[in-house]
Amino acid sequence: MIISAVNRFPIPAVLLTMTLFLTACNEHKSPTSEVSSEKEQNLIHSYAVPSEAKVKHLNWNAKVDFEQKIIGGVAEYLIETASDANRLTLDVKNLTIEHVFVDGEETKEWWLGPKDKFLGQALEIGISPETKNVAVHYETTEGAEALQWLKPEQTADNTDPFLFTQSQAILARTWIPCQDSPGIRYTYNAQVNVPKGLMALMSASNSIEIDSSGVYEFKMEQPIPSYLMALAVGNLEFRSIGENTGVYAEPSVVEAAAYEFEDMQKMLESAERLYGEYKWGRYDVLVLPPSFPFGGMENPRLTFATPTILAGDKSLTALVAHELAHSWSGNLVTNSTWDDFWLNEGFTVYFERRIMESVYGKSYADMLKVLGQQDLEHTLEKLSDAPEDTHLKLSLEGRDPDDGMTDIAYEKGNAFLLMLEENMGRDVFDAYLNQYFSENAFKTMTTEQFLENLKMDLFDGDEEQYIALKIDEWVYGEGIPDNAVVVSSPLFGEVEKEMNNWLEGKEAERMKTEDWTTHHWLHFLRSLPDSLGQQQMHELDAAFSFTTTGNSEIACEWFLRAIENDYAPADDEVEAFLIKVGRRKFLMPIYQALIEADDSKQRARNIYQKAKANYHSVSTNSIDALLK
């Protein structure tokens, strides 16, 4: 039997044939015989036609079914229409559309377009210029790439199931019908029904205690793009950090998370001193199970974070500063398209390191800059066969926008802003950024609009200065222009001195490492010669316990060295790490190293077969391509 999306009631048998018939008919036809392929300028990854009908507010009513691994929901949109509007176009991918209502009346005037590998389908709904709201009743399917359903044994506590979403870049359409473009913003209210005993959280106002009814209400009063829609459901607890900051996590994790993030309020206050008022009310962090594919996701009011940043010494909290910075660069002023992704991430990396400098000092921030430069150099080398992908302004039409989420957007974008700071002066550049965030709050920005803004507001219209600083070469050119700022870290100089002493014969256990942070160790491991003898590997491991470290960043770097040097004592831990951790940043280089060490790819495939069930689709899609 077919189950209703919201109330889960069986549809009467007499309606079953009709429902299936209408669904089949609606797969391919539209008022003009086929769904329009029209795409407005800048909407290269969305079927939406906002100049005709644009969503302004979402009322979302949903039920989370862990047994069937389905979300059944009603997405009701309040819309803004043009005088000649005759359709509302939404993006959907692998959704079952059950009913559509226009201004409260069920309609059969809706059509699904052809399927595209990346974009899914257009859902076109017949409307008039007078239409005020459209409601879509639907269910998710196994093809909902944004959703990861976890069994109890895949969580930290091993007691309850868990669900989380990851909507960036264009996966919101796999769990909510929406106009899935970063250039379209809307507010939302939600009511979500989950199994009793579990907590539901969204990128909105949240409860801090489990509701015994299992029904949760949410409100997001600031307009956001669909990629910032987020939902998590699990056995969670809350701990307050400061006046308007806190952390959610599973009970066995929450105290460690609260300790790790105890400087979060300081970070927020430092960010406000730098670039103006925090406009989202609260800033909380949710620590997810290990399968989360990213370090963090900047969902408004509630950053989703990987547990791999819980190092026990607060040394990996730059990630929190990064996601917090997104509350300005990305969430407040948003890239209009995924071709403009660097406007989100380049600004955020720059802002993150300014926060870290404010809280922990310049020497600390300088280490982060150098590590970031190393990451950028590695990415430039990897993209040597695709130099067009080293532009800040990308061209991703016909491609998965996930292809643009490389260190080019993050680190080349940051290097560009460092160059501007160096040449204009920090005080002048800070004043410009304050004005930029203030004047463009809750708006979207293309690269071209930003460059015009830069020319007029930072350079006061001085075309010669704009040209002298090679702005267009930075944005539209390959690689890194020669006016990039050279970054260095005196603390890393001390690391290199100790490493060279060891290579020249000093015993590893006599190295002066007492005050080293994660960043010191990362630089040490990255700076080692490519080829090390087994005795050298054993000596380092015996002195510093790299193979069994609980620090994921250090573990990843060490495992790369272990694979390159065929260091067998690390083999079991490499496999255990890949099975437990789903963060793509770690998975991709380790699997790549395994492949390079074994042309047959057999070891990598064997481990992946064991680990795949623990990974989110964002990670499996990338690894599948790697192992082909």
Cα 198 to chain centroid distance, Å, stands at: 24
Token pair listed for 484 = 């990039």
Contacts of 556 (CB under 8 A, 6+ apart): 577, 585, 586, 589, 590
The catalytically annotated residue of 283, 410, 436, 608 is 410
Contacts of 17 (CB under 8 A, 6+ apart): none
How far, in Å, CA of 296 to CA of 306, rounded? 6
Q: Environment class of residue 537 by beta-carbon count within 10 Å: exposed (0-12), middle (13-18) or buried (19+)?
A: buried
How far, in Å, CA of 267 to CA of 551, rounded? 22
HEC per residue, 290-343:
CCCCCCEECCCCEEEECHHHCCCCCCCCHHHHHHHHCCCECCCEEECCHHHCHH
Smallest CA-to-CA distance from 492 within 382, 359, 372 is with 372
323 is a catalytic site residue: yes
Q: Within 10 Å of residue 576's Cβ, how many Cβ atoms?
A: 13
Token pair listed for 575 = 């496999």
Write the single-letter amino acid at 153. Answer: E
Token pair listed for 122 = 């257009």
The catalytically annotated residue of 76, 124, 250, 323 is 323
H helix intervals, 397-510: 407, 413-424, 426-439, 447-453, 463-468, 471-476, 490-503
DSSP secondary structure of 242-263: ETTEEEEE-TTTHHHHHHHTTT
DSSP secondary structure of 381-399: HHTTT-GGGGSSS---TTS
Q: Environment class of residue 552 by beta-carbon count within 10 Å: exposed (0-12), middle (13-18) or buried (19+)?
A: buried
Cα 562 to chain centroid distance, Å, stands at: 29
How far, in Å, CA of 172 to CA of 230, rounded? 8
**CA–CA distances in Å: residue 519 to residues 126, 316, 369, 588:** 56, 9, 11, 21
Token pair listed for 12 = 């009467």
Strand ranges for 158-289 from DSSP E:
162-165, 185-193, 199-202, 215-225, 231-234, 237-242, 245-249, 283-287
Write the single-letter amino acid at 502. Answer: W
410 is a catalytic site residue: yes
Smallest CA-to-CA distance from 615 within 287, 305, 291 is with 291
Active site (catalytic) residues: 323, 410
